[in-house]
Structure 1
Amino acid sequence: MEERGTILPIFYEVEPSHVRHQRGSFAEAFDEHEEKLGEELERGTAISPELLTAIEQSRFAIVVLSPNYASSTWCLLELSKICECMGERGTILPIFYEVDPSHVRHQRGSFAEAFDEHEEKLGEGNKDVEGWRDALTKVANLAGWTSKDYRYETELMKDVVQALWSKVHPTLTVSDSTEKLVGMDATFGEIDVLLDKEANDVRFIGIWGMGGVGKTTLARVVYEKISHQFEVCIFLANVREVSATQGLVCLQKQILSQILKEENVQVCDVYDGVTRTKRCVCNKAVLLVLDDVDQPEQLENLAGGKDWFGLRSRIIITTRNRHVLVTHDIEKPYEVRGLNYDEALQLFSWKAFRKYEPDEDYAELSGHFVSYARGLPLALRTMGSFLYKRSPDAWSSALEKLRNTPDRKVFDLLKVSYDGLDEMEKTIFLDIACFRWLYRNEFMIEQVYSSDLCNRITIDVLAEKSLITISSANQIGMHDLIREMGCEIVRQQSYEEPGGRSRLWLHNDIFHVFTKNTGTKAIEGVVLDLPELEEADWNLEAFSQMCKLKLLYIDNLKLSLGPIYLPNALRFLKWSWYPSKSLPPGFQPDELTELSLVHSNIDHLWNGIKYLGKLKYINLSYSIDLRRTPDFTGIQNLEQLVLEGCTNLVKIHPSIAFLKRLKLLNLRNCRNIKSLPSEVEMESLETFDVSGCSRLKMIPEFVGKMKRLSKLSLSGTAVEKLPSSIERFSESLEELDLSGIVTRELPCSLFLNRNVNGKRPRSWYSLLPSGLFPRKSPLLASLKHLSSLTRLNLEDCNLSEGEIPNDIGSLSSLEYLYLGGNNFVSLPASIHLLSKLKRIHVENCKRLQQLPDLPLNEKLYVGSDNCTSLEVFPDPPDLGRLSKFSLNCTNCTSTVGNQDSSYYLYSVLKRLLEETPCSLDFASFVIPGSEILEWFNNQSVGDSVTQRFPLYGCNSNWIGVAVCALLVPHDNPSAVPEDPSLDPDKSSIMCQWHEYSFGLGGVGDWVGSIVSDHLFVVVLGSHVLKPKNCLEDTCNQQVKFDFKIRRAVGNNRCIKVKKCGARALYKHDMEELISKMNQTKSSVSRYKTLDFDFGKSAYEQGGVIVKGRREATSGSGGSDDEYFSAEE
């Protein structure tokens, strides 16, 4: 059969008397499969032009060779024609019915008798007779079926039909298949796994996704690919629509009609239909496709369960509603996603140009349309077909129209899902569609709809119906065309007047309503998010008509006058730069859940007690006129109170102490607060932040059932000691920030004039009150109990030698330790017990001479910038178990000297060769040094170097690559690009590599103003340089390493790379390294007395490990946990 236009795929050739006597066998078997084969078997009484045409057009011929076959001249003529045609383009399938194939092959038995008669009539040697003999011999030599091999004729029939269909099927095509198969190759493989056609069981396969994404297309293609393997095949289209308009009985009739081969099947009711369907399919291998199912009862009454069907049956359901599949115990449905850009461009081009790529003149416009469709096949097909053979001007006009009004066909199809929602689901859907960025997560929906039941289930329903997506991080997403559909629904509520719509989100529409005073009771939500601060004059009387307004969000707008009325229906109020001194007196929003007035003119929220039982969140940050907080008595369900930067806030109402549901209290930088309640009973409190409250001397005792506190920040306060109740949080406290709490400036007169016992004290520290900071500080004495602590910040606490508790190593969960800016000389040895430590920072500890052994963790960063007394560079921990290690010793001038740096680097490289760490991603070092080691045998001037090394796996002696850059003060800092994320006076240095087979990778660090030249060294493990694809037949690779510098905004003392070097690391480099070390060691006075045994720790040898960088909250080096990036 030709792929298109063929009339007869199969020619059925049989001796006429056999047809008369065997009508109930073979002929009926093929009749049962007429729908699958698409055949209409022609049978004639003589060779006719129609019959000859049928033979010529057929791809397959079934020849039933019975005992009397050769007696029929008609059969022999047909057979000759079949052999003539099939030899060129078809297949002959012989069935030896009650005859021996050898009798056919050699014309024996009844075949011999028949040919004697033919020769007697036509003459011996007749060309036709000889041709008949040749045809019979040819057919008899073909593989076929012999009836004597089967006990029952029905078994023979099934085998013939099955084999025939498996041969016919690959030649069939799906209508318009070129379009439908775009982007489906990978999908077929995943569907095949779900089908598992070899399994001897019954399986239900669910296919779900948004409207227009291609579910029906996929199901139909799969149906046509596998239907030849089933006894009964049914594709039931448009189940949702037919069920709604004609009922389930109509669908049951369709199923029974196809099974029974009857047109007018009578079904009394749904129950009767279920009973009859089960009876008809219970012993059959059925392929049933139920397309566009939207209700569970449709499945229950059309394919109720696995026990309905015979073994090897497969039931495929397509739906927009995933929950329909879940209720039918289909646990792992296949989700159909949109096409990627390249696939989408192919499909669009096929419809618009009838080829797989756009014409050159239309390439840019095609890209715009493809981007608009966001991979949705329906939109691509619709737009492509519409634009076929239109001019570029027409394309541009259509694109502009799409930006204002969605395509009607796409809109109508997508709106079907919306129409199936209940009222609450529609409300939340439209909110998400119109206020796209505001509803980025479920928290916002809970804030607005907390008073309504089932908002959680509503989100699930929207996701199950493919109207939204929910990421693993609970971020809500929505396809752009679905979002556009939702926005268009709102626009249609009032095309001419925006004030008549339920939601306002466009800048011009909102300004129109509030300047023209056209607000109405239809408005339920207003969201204005301006990119920059603007000023405007609004007529806020418009609020008086918005009695149903539940959501008000205004950001970056300064108004001259404030509102005298706000709707009491508000549930969410977020208004930055709020212009009034307080909320309107009559404002009583009983449903309000969030109140945020950042940068407002508020000096107080309200007077007296206001009962707002649903209010959970208050944020008045940076409202510098705020003098006092409200009475909290009426808002006992408050969970978060944020007053950060309210610099004139003086009075905290004492009722705050009894907010038992409060989880977060943020008073950061409220520098005029002098006191808090002496006790608080906030049993839900998790975060207590009073950092920057420089006048605050005491924090409350935590009483009652408080056991959840996980973050306590006292940085920059005047607090002298922690409350004794801190110990109750030994299992919950994770972050403790005490930085800068004892760095108060004492009066000069006290330091200069006052004597103790007649003698001038050696330092003002001894003048501090005895309870403030004795030799064993009570502030730190209780830390050992905080086993859950993950982050501890003691920077700038004026800690001297011995004031860090010796048992700090008992903080078994500690990951981040910040000790910078203190006065100790050394640290407790127990630090090496902190097995989870990822970062230790001792920057600006000017008296620090050495560090103890560092803990062994697969990732470790050591920051020791500006530790000017540091005597010895530290050894890294066990390199065999490290993944990422960085050491920053910027401006550690006590170790200055190129020989010191050289010896240290040689020693580290030697250890790398000895221990050959297989897990090392990288090790990086920033240390003083004025020359790149001559050992780096590939050096170049400037900020880049190219290095050759083996491909991963080609050389077992290859360990990795070492690269080095010489950093010097920059003579023209303005030439260095600025990075606003960097801390002041900082520069970033990044070693990057980029090659087609590796992708982009990099290792970086931060460097402050340097007082001398420095070296930045990076060692990369070989597996990091493993190529992602290798197209060349070679075992060598060449990669360029670039050193990139960025500076903080306004930093005029940044660095530059003067020169750099690189070398591939091999195990056999050991001898050369030892030689270099010996040459260097003899001239290093600081190391002369130290016989470095690299099997011993740095602590055992008097060494110190240091590594430098402050906590990274920004910059190119990455997060606290990661300062290595390689594009996967």
Structure 2
Amino acid sequence: MALSTQVRASSGSSCPWKYDVFLSFRGEDTRKGFTDYLYHELERQGIRTFRDDPQLERGTAISPELLTAIEQSRFAIVVLSPKYATSTWCLLELSKILECMEERGTILPIFYEVDPSHVRHQRGSFAEAFQEHEEKFGEGNKEVEGWRDALTKVASLAGWTSEDYRYETQLISEIVQALWSKVHPSLTVFGSSEKLFGMDSKLEEMDVLLDKEANDVRFIGIWGMGGIGKTTLAGLVYEKISHQFEVCIFLANVREVSKTTHGLVDLQKQILSQILKEENVQVWNVYSGRNMIKRCVCNKAVLLVLDDVDQSEQLENFVGEKDCFGLRSRIIITTRDRRVLVTHGVEKPYELKGINEHEALQLFSWKAFRKCEPEEDYAELCKSFVTYAGGLPLALKILGSFLKGRTPDEWNSALAKLQQTPDITVFKILKMSFDGLDEMEKKIFLDIACFRRLYSNEFMIELVDSSDPCNRITRRVLAEKSLLTISSDSQVHVHDLIHEMGCEIVRQENEESGGRSRLCLRDDIFHVFTKNTGTEAIEGILLDLAELEEADWNLEAFSKMCKLKLLYIHNLRLSVGPKCLPNALRFLSWSWYPSKSLPPCFQPEELTELSLVHSNIDHLWNGIKYLGKLKSIDLSYSINLTRTPDFTGISNLEKLILEGCTNLVKIHPSIALLKRLKIWNFRNCKSIKRLPSEVNMEFLETFDVSGCSKLKMIPEFVGQMKRLSKLRLGGTAVEKLPSSIERWSESLVELDLSGIVIREQPYSRFLKQNLIASSLGLFPRKSPHPLIPLLASLKHFSSLTELKLNDCNLFEGDIPNDIGSLSSLRSLGLRGNNFVSLPASIHLLSKLEYINVENCKRLQQLPELSAIGVLSRTDNCTALQLFPDPPDLCRITTNFSLNCVNCLSMVCNQDASYFLYAVLKRWIEIQVLSRCDMTVHMQKTHRHPSEYLKVVIPGSEIPEWFNNQSVGDSVTEKFPSDACNYSKWIGFAVCALIVPQDNPSAVPEVPHLDPDTCQILCYWSNFVTDTNLGGVGDYVKQFVSDHLWLLVLRRPLRIPENCLEVNFVFEIRRAVGNNRCMKVKKCGVRALYEHDREELISKMNQSKSSSSISLYEEAMDEQEGAMVKATPSGSGGSDDEYYSAAEE
């Protein structure tokens, strides 16, 4: 069906299908009942359906009208009822349907009150019907045999069986929903309620270029001037056809994002995240990202939109050549530069031109009057403005918005002004709106337009121009005039054309760049500072380099810039610093600032923000500077900084950020006078030993001294302190909290005490019920004293979502029994402790999604896994005796994982096969349940069973139940071939036997993995159709013995056409430099069906009574002597890493 902005194709559409669906049915069986209800529901939903007239069905010859209707239908629904085969008419229809649609795969059978196997093998009523046909036409008649073959083929297709549904309405609803998704995929106006004009004809042209039925790979380029509608068109196409592809990605603002630091890599991460369905994909550089993308898309049908590309390099790093993609892939590229498309081999770039006069009049009228036609008094004026705009949508919007609510005289005046400009160009169209601003509005507009990267939100604009009281209302005026947009979250957006218009206005101020008011282009700025051509005209300089550069500038140029109010320099290293800076500066941000201090003569009384990140500063200034408007100081990572300034003259300071100033020692006592301070960030200032003993900061929101390893005491906070929400003391030497903490603890939302030992004033007694902490960390340095006094009770932490008690020397009984009262807890870290068991109340933690008890070498028993949602890690728990009970997968709403790496005692006491069988049985039960009574519940609660389950346990043999086993790292399994089995099919169970190896030279390396960690991956695909069906991975500790990795996959919602089998391939990756790794020795797979539950119960009973259990005696000896010890807290083996890995 042709693309359109409407649900149905427009009358001018070149759609080849007259009907969406052809209904084939036996009238005697279903015409007045099921088929009639189905027909009317299809029509009601806008699905054009052909149903033959009952008067046509006479004789044995099918009418030409029906033959034509079949040929003109996109899909066919065949209702196979008990008497279907008695009608030669129906059998002739069916033969024609197969002739027209079999290759397209658009035949949808419904087995209505019949067994699919009876249809396939012509049994029961179908056998009786064919007996009559053979008596009538003769045995062995070719036409009759053809009918038999047609029934066999259609009965082998996936469809619906009426016996699977309690009510026919449920069956009809599911059929109509499936047809709707195929015939009329939902279409919005690409994330906007904006009314569109002039797009239908362009969508039809794009439909021809896309040729979605062609079995090839196509690059489609859309090029044209800025504001012509390239992004809108690409977005509409994307939303219309995305349902037809395995992977769909819309990469917006490629040009702008590519210019930022790591921009190309960030965009590659976006692509890979969509393909792999993972949030945190690691890409180390553009070259590895390019290879990863190439590998991931090589056998997938991908829809990829790259919006606003301006360099061929971007295409090379994102899409490569056509042969990188799977067949039927479509890559859509929008650009202003046609050369980018030609260079990359896009054969026929689609030039997007302006909309026609009728469409332009509609768009202009909508902006000016909020209706599709002009008001009578403005009709001729509207036509004049539409002619002037030349079909450019953005110009029409701006002009219409500008004139909205104005009188005809004002319209005539504006039109007369336009007519004075002979050259009809985009710039002058846009500049007309600029000319309508007053002088203050013009200045603010040029600031926002030229420095839009800095002015990305209203907070930054307020910070830079806080001295201007008219700022806020002026921004609203500019937004009303469509010169910028302000989102609900205060983000400010300036369109490319508007930005270019603003820059062009500035460029026209003076041929010499030093004589212009604003500089934002690299070449202009370098020219001014190398040639010393600066003048008093310059009011703002923004240099944002993507990579660190070095230069030799003549900074005497600053001496002439007496009106400079904004200076932003990023990623530039200079050997010599400035001797003077303009005192008019309001905003100063200069990373890698070269001097040891600010110039002594610098007295910026209007300065609101001072940011000298990564600077060479060792002190800001000597003595007192009175800077009453200064609100923010950021000297982060200025490693030469040794002392702070005297804060006496900057009493309005709100943010003080000195993070990473590792040599900072002296903190001026006047810091205690900063009563308006909101953010105090001294994170990782490792040389600080003391702070003022007392401060009064009633506005303080964040106090962060984490990582200040020599700091032993924090100040007493006097006053109300009702706003303090984040207190971060992790990694300090603090042993005592201030007594004043009780007065302001109610406002805390985050408390970090990681890496410290609090010996007095246990915090559990002052954290009240309303604490909504997102994280509480306790990682005391190795100490002979456990945290018993501090953990007397946890009941006051009911809103805590994350609790880490790793390496806390906790023994049996040290964890409070009321841990089950942490009703909001989602993550629990207990790694490296000495308890034997966990409190029984853990099973009450209904929201718990993650538990880590790695390296708890005395732990003998796990709690019920019904308390655990997503990821459980028990690696290296050498005393663990029994496999836990299989989890209650009914409550799991995301993908479940259980790792029991090197827990070898478990297989000494219990057969691993029994646990695997129990997990598989539980999986089948919940999948069956999800299809029945739980379906309504899940729809109401938006909770669905997990798509896969992963389990790693010790084991040396793949259970024989996996009936398809293969030596090596790959195995192949067939998809269910008949409708009966397909309806009972649940998914696949895959099991790999993974063994240690000491010669991993062939194993690929992955940067930034812990030394004792490996990555296991499994991909499933179809080699014949070159279709990638999915993949999943896991991070595991180095095995000291053979292990089994069980992967259970839920049945996919859709199987690609002609995909008859699936190939599972395993891959191991190791940390860089790791000489110990693993390999996949053997793997097995089995298709899971509902009836497998009974066999699994039998297998469980056999495993229980079996005595042939591997004891792993040698492996146990090796574990005691050679197993790599757990990573200490804070050195890269964190819970967070494992938590994210589980979701990959």
TM-score by length of 2: 0.56
SS in 2 for 1:913: helix
Aligned partner (choices 864, 867, 890) of residue 880 of structure 1? 890
Q: Is the 8 A contact 1:740 1:797 kept in 2?
A: no
How many angstroms does 1:973 deviate by?
4.7
Residue ranges of structure 1 left out of the alignment (5+ in a row): 4-173, 191-209, 247-288, 305-318, 320-406, 745-764, 1089-1106
> How do 1:199-238 residues align onto structure 2 when only pairs under 5 Å count?
214=355, 218=359, 220=361, 236=378
Residue in 2 aligned with 1:627?
A: 642
Distance 2:820 2:743 in 1: 20
Aligned partner (choices 815, 824, 843) of residue 835 of structure 2? 824
Q: Is 1:447 equivalent to 2:463 in the alignment?
A: yes
How many angstroms does 1:1006 deviate by?
1.8
Which moves more between the two structures, 230-239 or 621-630? 230-239
Q: Is 1:705 equivalent to 2:705 in the alignment?
A: no
Q: Is 1:965 equivalent to 2:977 in the alignment?
A: no
Q: Is the 8 A contact 1:737 1:793 kept in 2?
A: no
Residue in 2 aligned with 1:815?
A: 826
Residue in 1 aligned with 2:664?
A: 649
Residue in 1 aligned with 2:577?
A: 562
Distance 1:660 1:926, change over 3 A: farther
Distance 2:843 2:855 in 1: 21
Per-residue CA deviations over 1:1029-1057 (Å, capped at 9, x if unaligned) read 8657xxx8644444455544544544444
Distance 1:433 1:781, change over 3 A: farther
Per-residue CA deviations over 1:83-141 (Å, capped at 9, x if unaligned) read xxxxxxxxxxxxxxxxxxxxxxxxxxxxxxxxxxxxxxxxxxxxxxxxxxxxxxxxxxx
Per-residue CA deviations over 1:538-583 (Å, capped at 9, x if unaligned) read 2111111122222222233322221121122222222222222211
Q: Is 1:1074 equivalent to 2:1103 in the alignment?
A: no
Distance 1:523 1:994, change over 3 A: farther
How many angstroms does 1:673 deviate by?
1.7
Aligned partner (choices 496, 501, 506) of residue 490 of structure 1? 506
Q: Is the 8 A contact 1:889 1:1108 kept in 2?
A: no
> How do 1:388-427 residues align onto structure 2 when only pairs under 5 Å count?
409-427=425-443
How many angstroms does 1:908 deviate by?
1.0
Distance 1:640 1:600 in 2: 18
How many angstroms does 1:421 deviate by?
4.2
Q: Is 1:589 equivalent to 2:604 in the alignment?
A: yes
Residue in 2 aligned with 1:68?
A: none
Per-residue CA deviations over 1:195-231 (Å, capped at 9, x if unaligned) read xxxxxxxxxxxxxxx9997597536479999xxx999
Q: Is 1:837 equivalent to 2:848 in the alignment?
A: yes
Q: Is the 8 A contact 1:658 1:680 kept in 2?
A: yes
Aligned AA (1:861): L
Residue in 2 aligned with 1:864?
A: 874
Distance 2:1130 2:709 in 1: 22
> How do 1:179-578 residues align onto structure 2 when only pairs under 5 Å count?
214=355, 218=359, 220=361, 236=378, 239=381, 292-295=399-402, 298=405, 409-468=425-484, 475-495=491-511, 497-578=512-593
How many angstroms does 1:729 deviate by?
5.8
Residue in 2 aligned with 1:755?
A: none
How many angstroms does 1:1069 deviate by?
0.6
Residue in 2 aligned with 1:1012?
A: 1041
Residue in 2 aligned with 1:271?
A: none
Distance 1:563 1:865, change over 3 A: farther
Distance 2:1086 2:203 in 1: 53
Q: Is 1:776 equivalent to 2:799 in the alignment?
A: no
Q: Is 1:799 equivalent to 2:810 in the alignment?
A: yes
Per-residue CA deviations over 1:1010-1044 (Å, capped at 9, x if unaligned) read 3233333222333xx212x8657xxx864444445
How many angstroms does 1:628 deviate by?
1.8
> How do 1:53-64 residues align onto structure 2 when only pairs under 5 Å count?
none
Distance 1:958 1:175 in 2: 47
Distance 1:672 1:1111, change over 3 A: closer
Distance 1:1047 1:213 in 2: 55
Distance 1:955 1:466 in 2: 56
Per-residue CA deviations over 1:253-303 (Å, capped at 9, x if unaligned) read xxxxxxxxxxxxxxxxxxxxxxxxxxxxxxxxxxxx999533576368799
Aligned-residue Cα RMSD (Å) equals 5.0
Distance 2:373 2:480 in 1: 33
Distance 1:1086 1:939, change over 3 A: closer
Residue in 1 aligned with 2:218?
A: none
How many angstroms does 1:657 deviate by?
3.8
Aligned AA (1:492): Q
Distance 1:702 1:213 in 2: 64
Distance 1:552 1:984, change over 3 A: farther
Distance 2:1092 2:723 in 1: 55
Distance 1:834 1:991, change over 3 A: same
Distance 1:464 1:971 in 2: 68
Per-residue CA deviations over 1:349-406 (Å, capped at 9, x if unaligned) read xxxxxxxxxxxxxxxxxxxxxxxxxxxxxxxxxxxxxxxxxxxxxxxxxxxxxxxxxx
Q: Is the 8 A contact 2:198 2:359 kept in 1?
A: no
Q: Is 1:678 equivalent to 2:707 in the alignment?
A: no
Q: Is the 8 A contact 2:1018 2:1065 kept in 1?
A: yes
Distance 1:600 1:244, change over 3 A: same
Residue in 1 aligned with 2:859?
A: 848
Distance 1:416 1:913, change over 3 A: same
Equivalent residues, number: 738
Distance 2:424 2:902 in 1: 68
Distance 1:430 1:1114 in 2: 49
Q: Is 1:1021 equivalent to 2:1031 in the alignment?
A: no
Distance 2:1065 2:593 in 1: 50
Distance 1:980 1:766 in 2: 28
Distance 1:704 1:960 in 2: 62
Distance 1:439 1:647 in 2: 31
Distance 1:895 1:930 in 2: 13
SS in 1 for 2:504: helix
How many angstroms does 1:671 deviate by?
1.8
Q: Is 1:691 equivalent to 2:719 in the alignment?
A: no
Distance 2:1087 2:639 in 1: 59
How many angstroms does 1:499 deviate by?
1.6
Residue in 2 aligned with 1:988?
A: 1015
Distance 2:685 2:566 in 1: 30
Residue in 2 aligned with 1:933?
A: 959
How many angstroms does 1:184 deviate by?
12
SS in 2 for 1:655: helix
Residue in 1 aligned with 2:626?
A: 611
Distance 1:506 1:1015 in 2: 59
SS in 2 for 1:293: helix
Residue in 2 aligned with 1:920?
A: 945
Q: Is the 8 A contact 2:996 2:1079 kept in 1?
A: yes
Aligned AA (1:880): C
Residue in 2 aligned with 1:136?
A: none
| Larger gyration radius, structure 1 or structure 2 | 1
Q: Is the 8 A contact 1:1113 1:1120 kept in 2?
A: no
Distance 1:291 1:623, change over 3 A: closer
Q: Is the 8 A contact 1:735 1:791 kept in 2?
A: no
Aligned AA (2:517): S
Distance 2:643 2:379 in 1: 67
Aligned partner (choices 914, 917, 933) of residue 906 of structure 1? 917
Q: Is the 8 A contact 1:1006 1:1109 kept in 2?
A: no
Distance 1:911 1:1074 in 2: 10
Distance 1:905 1:214 in 2: 63
SS in 1 for 2:557: helix
Distance 2:374 2:459 in 1: 50
Aligned AA (2:543): L
How many angstroms does 1:467 deviate by?
4.1
Distance 1:611 1:426, change over 3 A: same
Aligned AA (1:493): E
Per-residue CA deviations over 1:475-498 (Å, capped at 9, x if unaligned) read 554444443333333322333x22
Q: Is the 8 A contact 2:973 2:1087 kept in 1?
A: yes
How many angstroms does 1:882 deviate by?
1.0
Q: Is the 8 A contact 1:981 1:1048 kept in 2?
A: yes
Distance 1:548 1:998, change over 3 A: farther
